[in-house]
Structure 1
Amino acid sequence: MFVRENFPIFNKSSLVKISTSHSLRCDAKQFEKRFDDLDELLAKGEIVYLGQLLPEPIVKGTQPTYIEENDGVPVINTLSIQKMKINKKDCRYISEDDYLNLTENRKLKINDVLLTMDGGTSIGKPVLFDLEGEFTVDSHVAILRPVGISPKALVYLLSSPIGQLQFQKAESGASGQTSVTEEDLRRFKFPSKMLEEIDLIVEQMDEKMQKVNRIRKKLDKREEKIWEEFTMETLS
């Protein structure tokens, strides 16, 4: 049994997790071995709760009224966030008037961290917003503005195996309708030592990911060419 609260209180038994909040979750998944292994790993040293790095309330987008034309303002959704990248071609659009009527905190700024919060397999995809121009997000995407850690470092933390395991543990709801709440997200834990070294880790990871992306682009072009050849052969 796992009960939601701002920060968890654990008794000495590994099988009982207790709090005083009124929100109750009963989920057998909480006791899977992979999550016990994660708890044991995190118990070996000092930890930092993600909520300590997010002093402001987390902002989510609205459910927009979309327009068909692509000359409005792009809305970033779960589909347009893939592999720590924003695919603008997968964005939908709202009118300029609807964008101007949004609150300022829903208008994206450079170095905002975007995070998909619901939608089954779409949960837990972070990305750094680094595009020029006017953008917003829909109701499935949260905007995080961290303090005490660089936005890019937060993206890598959430993408890491430790981060992704905590998304899997925290998600709840009906099949295909699962979500992670702000309360869940704020309870995510990371080793303090990891945060002390995060800037160097991110720099090294960034170099490796850039190489991977270059290779991926070459493979994508190669795949496109193979399909073009296939099409020409079937039509000849």
Structure 2
Amino acid sequence: MREAAIGISRDSRWVERSLSDVTELLRRGTAPSYVSSSTVRVIGQRCVQISGFQAEAARSHDPGKMSRSLIAEHGDVLLNSTGTGTIGRSCLFDDKGIFVVDSHVTVLRARRDLVEPRWIDLILRSPWGQSRLESHCFVGSTNQVELSRVELAGTVIPVPPLDEQRRIVEVIDAVSAQERAIEASVAKLRETRRAALDAMLGALSWDHTLADVADGAIRNGFSPVETEEWTGVQMLGLGCLSASGFAPLQLKNAPSTVTADHKAVLQDGDLLMSRANTRELVGMVGVFRDVGTPCIYPDLMMRIRPMKGCSTRFLAASLMSTRGRRYIQSMAQGTSGSMVKISARTVREIPVPLPSLEEQRRVLSALASFDTSVETETAELAKLRTLRRGIVDDLLAGSV
């Protein structure tokens, strides 16, 4: 055991051990044999979520081909081991059914005399754990990244006495339980908002198209090669549009050839729509808000500037309503399960309501109370997440 590699607690009972020392099993699963229906199911990457184990994402496995299968046990730590965006995500297996593990997921089965499974999961989820995995355990190129079992097994973690592990995990679990309660409240608020919006829009006539209400052409953006240097102009990524609307969560530096007067530079209040993504996310819309510097939108988005008499926020709400989303998703084309597209013609022909400005304002006013509540709850959720990360960091640094 090495000392002070991470930052030992002031309590001398804290030691450091490698993951191979504190687990009785550390290996990936095997390639599954899928069938249409079975009591045996397969744990894949979609089952391993930040929110916990998702049994509904598991597919059926042939029970006659179990000889080489790795069967999950209650309390196993599941760690996604391949793929950009999913690798490094972990959760505890807590289901009572029969599940086998596929080759994209690693199982860490704790030695219960040394360590709590929840402690291993807490370490892997922590900023330190995620940084360690990324810097030491990921191998391969973009989109082909894999988790090195050898490096993972050799990863050294702090190990307090079992009673202290349990107390720490209980504190973190308490904060996480508050987070889940707020998440559930936000989800319910959004569902109620959607129902209220659908009811109000359902009473209106949808006898216009997006082309009717657009002031000028509906244009695709521009996607130059990203640069590492700051040039004063930024580019949006597809991740800036979600079910919550626009958020500047994925900004990149545009090359110096893109200037502030480029035709794809956005104005505050522009309506954006994604024209390619997964079927769940294609056609997402959001109202662009100034990010402090000139910003362009990518080729996989479209910009819509409504005419006078049509509120941008009302149009965005209509397109994100149940009726609007169903139409867009039904018109999306593509053979890939991970990427479908909507054509320019489809976008122009999307049906939308166009009541009087007074009626538009009435709808938006009714939605405002829901939006304010969601913002308040979301801010509280952000505080809790920051608190949890801070507690974990302090624990690993030995300052608590």
**Do the two structures share a fold, i.e. TM-score over 0.5?**
yes
Answer yes or no: is the 8 Å Cα contact 1:84–1:125 preserved in 2: no
Give 1:84 deviation, angstroms: 4.5
Give 1:191 deviation, angstroms: 3.4
Which residue in the other structure is 2:28 paired with?
60
Which residue in the other structure is 1:191 paired with?
158
Q: Does 1:175 align with 2:142?
A: yes
Paired-residue identity, %: 25
Answer yes or no: is the 8 Å Cα contact 1:50–1:185 preserved in 2: yes
Provide the C-alpha distance between the structure 1 equivalents of 2:151 and 2:118, rounded to a whole number of angstroms.
21
Local SS of the residue matching 1:152: helix
Answer yes or no: is the 8 Å Cα contact 1:114–1:126 preserved in 2: yes
Which residue in the other structure is 1:212 paired with?
179
Matches for 1:1-236 after TM superposition, within 5 Å: 42=6, 47-56=16-25, 58-69=26-37, 71-98=38-65, 101-103=66-68, 106-147=70-111, 148-170=114-136, 171-192=138-159, 197-236=164-203
Cα-to-partner distance string for 1:130-161 (whole Å, 9 max, x where unaligned)? 11121112110111112110111111111111
| CA 41–152 in structure 1, closer or farther in 2 if over 3 Å, else same | same
Give 1:67 deviation, angstroms: 2.6
Provide the C-alpha distance between the structure 2 equivalents of 1:77 and 1:192, rounded to a whole number of angstroms.
29
Answer yes or no: is the 8 Å Cα contact 1:84–1:126 preserved in 2: no
Which residue in the other structure is 1:18 paired with?
none
Deviates more, 1:47-56 or 1:106-115: 47-56
Letter of the structure 1 residue corresponding to residue 176 of structure 2? M
Cα-to-partner distance string for 1:196-234 (whole Å, 9 max, x where unaligned)? 842221111111111111111121222223333444444
Local SS of the residue matching 1:122: coil
Cα-to-partner distance string for 1:99-131 (whole Å, 9 max, x where unaligned)? xx2346x11111111111111121111211111
Provide the C-alpha distance between the structure 1 equivalents of 2:7 and 2:57, rounded to a whole number of angstroms.
41
Answer yes or no: is the 8 Å Cα contact 1:123–1:167 preserved in 2: no
RMSD of aligned alpha carbons: 2.7
Provide the C-alpha distance between the structure 2 equivalents of 1:229 and 1:207, rounded to a whole number of angstroms.
33
Letter of the structure 1 residue corresponding to residue 31 of structure 2? Q
Provide the C-alpha distance between the structure 2 equivalents of 1:55 and 1:65, rounded to a whole number of angstroms.
26
Which has the higher relative contact order, 1 or 2, with Cα contacts under 8 A spaced 6 or more apart? 1
Provide the C-alpha distance between the structure 2 equivalents of 1:194 and 1:176, rounded to a whole number of angstroms.
39
Letter of the structure 2 residue corresponding to residue 82 of structure 1? Q
| CA 44–157 in structure 1, closer or farther in 2 if over 3 Å, else same | closer
Local SS of the residue matching 2:78: strand
Answer yes or no: is the 8 Å Cα contact 2:55–2:95 preserved in 1: no
Give 1:54 deviation, angstroms: 2.2
Point out where structure 1 has 5 or more consecutive residues left out of the alignment: 1-6, 9-39
Which residue in the other structure is 2:296 paired with?
none
Local SS of the residue matching 1:220: helix
Answer yes or no: is the 8 Å Cα contact 1:113–1:144 preserved in 2: yes
Letter of the structure 2 residue corresponding to residue 42 of structure 1? I
Provide the C-alpha distance between the structure 1 equivalents of 2:129 and 2:196, rounded to a whole number of angstroms.
42
Cα-to-partner distance string for 1:174-196 (whole Å, 9 max, x where unaligned)? 10110111111012222355988
Which residue in the other structure is 1:30 paired with?
none
Which residue in the other structure is 1:15 paired with?
none
Local SS of the residue matching 2:45: coil
| CA 95–228 in structure 1, closer or farther in 2 if over 3 Å, else same | farther
Local SS of the residue matching 1:114: strand
Local SS of the residue matching 2:64: helix
Cα-to-partner distance string for 1:18-71 (whole Å, 9 max, x where unaligned)? xxxxxxxxxxxxxxxxxxxxxx97267863322221244x232222232344x4
| CA 196–161 in structure 1, closer or farther in 2 if over 3 Å, else same | farther
Provide the C-alpha distance between the structure 2 equivalents of 1:157 and 1:196, rounded to a whole number of angstroms.
16
State the number of aligned residues.
Answer: 194
Which structure has the greater CA radius of gyration? 2
